Amino acid sequence: MRVRSVVVLVLLSLASVEVRAARLLATTGRAVFAGPDQGKAVVLQAEAATRVEVTAGGKTSVFVTDDEGVWAITGVGGVAWQERRWQQGDAWVLALLVALDPKAQGVRTERGLPTRYQPQSGSKVQIPAVEYRRDAKGIVSYTAGAIQVKRTESGPLPQLAADAFAVPRKQRSGLGKLADAAAGLFASDKPNVSSTAGARGVTEEEKKLGSSYNFAAVEKVEKTAVDRADVDRFIREGKLGGGS
């Protein structure tokens, strides 16, 4: 009975490892991966989250991970990466995202880093087999089908704004097509999307303010929404001197 209990515990612990999100870097830091057609993916790995900024075709898309999955930051909020409209040439991006998703099936890891991905039948997104190669810093290159991607840069994690790893207004399902229709697959180059995504580092002015600058408070104010009825009521009450 004791031996059987030990075996069950070991199997459960192995299962828990399989569903845990992989890391792309051995430690916190920044890395750049060169994709096809001059595309690139900038990976910013913190302790509890990872941010991936993908540039392709002259536009940039931002993805942020948390313990619930990987989210594309769009004009309608955070959309699960599987809900987006993907094309065959995007396999090199999908190979990064599937490795980071704690709920993805088919990813094998070793010491927290992905080693390979096996295509899954019935998956919303078709991804070819992926082989990941590692060095002391993390993933150094990988092959997604016939596409080869290499890490071209690596270094420490830069100073970032407080909302760099935030996921605004998570949309569980159904809005992937709307997000694509509104701004295209690679959409965060537009000002309103970049603002929503918090896709900025700490500016020179923010550095001058130092620790007295409350990033959390600013983020809260930036996300505050006021509808038209509230505005009309405010004016009617004469608080701006414009109503009677």
Q: List the chain domain ranges.
A: 2-197, 204-236
Please check whether the domain covering 2-197 is classified as CATH 2.40.50.
no
pLDDT value at residue 221:
56
Predicted local distance difference test score (pLDDT) of residue 121:
86
pLDDT value for 41: 97
Task: Please state the three-class secondary structure of the chain as a single string.
Answer: CHHHHHHHHHHHHHHHHHCCCCCCECCCEEEEEECHHHCEEEEEECCCCEEEEEEECCEEEEEEEECCEEEEEECCEEEEHHHCCCCHHHHHHHHHHHHHCCCCCCEEEECCEEEEECCCCCCCCCCCCEEEEEECCEEEEEEECCEEEEEEEEECCCCECCCCCCCCCEECCCCHHHHHHHHCCCCCCCHHHHHHHCCCECCHHHHHHHHHCCHHHHHHHHCCCCCHHHHHHHHHCCCCCCCC
11-47 pLDDT, tens digit per residue, is 444 444 444 578 999 999 999 999 999 999 999 999 9
Q: pLDDT truncated to tens, each residue of the chain (244 aa)?
A: 454 544 444 344 444 444 457 899 999 999 999 999 999 999 999 999 999 999 998 889 999 999 899 999 988 889 999 998 898 889 999 999 999 999 999 999 999 999 999 998 888 899 999 999 999 999 999 999 999 999 999 999 998 887 899 998 887 655 444 444 444 444 444 433 333 333 444 445 444 444 444 445 555 555 566 667 777 777 777 655 555 5
Q: pTM value?
A: 0.66
The predicted pLDDT at position 162 comes to: 75
